Structure 1
Amino acid sequence: MVRPGLTGWSQVSGNTTLSNEEKLHLDLWYVAHRSTPFDLQILWETLGVAAFGERRREDRLAMAAQWLSAERATSFMEGSK
């Protein structure tokens, strides 16, 4: 559904400091919220990561986990109808 690229939301949100599960959560959040302005933000942040190094973004991890939890609850409720 989404082609791989040179950078991504999980790469600018911690990359090597993240577990595979955390990267998956961030990538699923990205797929649901992707847009051209968001892609431009990721490109800009990639330059920052290249210049200043990786930084684990706990705020983004929490946002993605909360969104995923809500999505699962919604899917469960829709499936039980």
Structure 2
Amino acid sequence: MTVPETTTTNEVGSVEKVTGFIKESKAELQKVTWPTRQELFMNTIVVLIAVVLVAVCIWVADTFFSVLIRTILR
């Protein structure tokens, strides 16, 4: 009975795939247009304002429905 030889071609293929992925990722990251510090700051302010507005809308709706349900249940 013969014993099959163990090869490491799978391991080498896996290492080459990971290496290729890292190189491609690095190349893609160099193509990205990163925001300036001022753009980042302004976008952060816009997001914070949007979060506050949504929170206020949810609070108003919650208060309205709480009062409505209390009135109905009385």
- The structure with more radius of gyration: 2
TM-score class, shorter? 0.3 to 0.5
* Greater RCO (CA < 8 Å, at least 6 residues apart): 1
